[in-house]
Structure 1
Amino acid sequence: MILEAVMLKVRPGMEEEYEEAFRRASEIIASMKGYISHELQRCIEVKGKYLLMVKWETLEDHTVGFRKSNEYQEWKKMLHRFYDPFPTVEHFENIQL
């Protein structure tokens, strides 16, 4: 399992509209092969800042399966207009302790 982690900065004044768009877009990502779960966290200290975490079975489920899909084009159309600056996506793997 891998964790996709993204710090998102939403344009000022668009937070409510973004959250509603994200609720609708969640159906897209949840339908993808290799998807496990996701959550969107709103920052308490900084208005318009969010943390998105998505669990995937494999890195390729995200980077190839989702990112190269028609569904991703719809996701992009629904959400990318809200971000400024455009976010950096990082992937993490669990360390067995």
Structure 2
Amino acid sequence: MVIEHAELSIIPGREAEFEAAFEQGHKAIAQSPGYLWARLIRQIENPSSYLLLVGWESLEAHMETFRGSDLFHRWRAAVSPYFAAPPNVTHYNGELTPGEGM
């Protein structure tokens, strides 16, 4: 499993609109082959900053299958009007290493 880690900076004062739009955009992500789960987390110190974590079966499921599809365009159309800056996206290995716990 791969975890997409996206830092989202939202236009101040538009957080509620973004959260509503995220619900619509999430419907597009969830239809993509290789999608596993998603979690949107709002920062306490800066309420216009969000962390989006998305579980994917593989890096290819995110970068090639989803990002190369109409579903990605539907996602971006729903949420991008609220971005104050382009998202910062990185990927992490979602498998636990020996000795780790949850």
Deviation at 1:41, TM superposition (A): 0.4
CA RMSD of aligned residues (A): 0.9
Name the TM-score, length of structure 1 as normaliser: 0.95
Q: Which 5+ residue runs of structure 1 have no aligned equivalent?
A: none
CA positional deviation for 1:14: 0.6
* 1:9-68 CA distance string (max 9 Å, x none): 100111000000001111111111000000000111112110000000000000010001
Which one-letter code corresponds to 2:66 in the other structure? F
Identity of aligned residues (%): 35
Tell me the amino acid that sits aligned with residue 9 of structure 1: S
Correspondence 1:60-79 to 2 at 5 A? 60-79=60-79
Task: Give 5+ residue unaligned stretches, structure 2.
Answer: none
**Alpha-carbon separation, structure 2, partners of 1:38 and 1:9:** 18
C-alpha distance in 2, partners of 1:2/1:76?
21
Partner of 1:6: 6
Q: Do the aligned partners of 2:25 and 2:76 also contact (CA within 8 Å) in 1?
A: no
Deviation at 1:96, TM superposition (A): 1.5
Moved >2 Å (runs of 4+): none
* 1:76 CA drift (Å): 1.0
What secondary structure sits across from 1:75 in the alignment? Answer: helix
- Tell me the CA shift for residue 95 of structure 1: 4.4
Q: Match for 1:34: what amino acid?
A: G
- Normalised by the length of structure 2, the TM-score is 0.91
Counterparts of 1:49 and 1:19 in 2: how far apart (Å)? 12
What is the DSSP-based 3-state SS (H/G/I as helix, E as strand, rest coil) of the residue aligned with 2:12? Answer: coil
Total equivalences in the alignment: 97
**SS across alignment from 1:51:** strand
- After alignment, is 49-58 or 22-31 more displaced? 22-31
Q: Deviations over 1:65-94 (max 9, x none)?
A: 000101111111111121121111100003
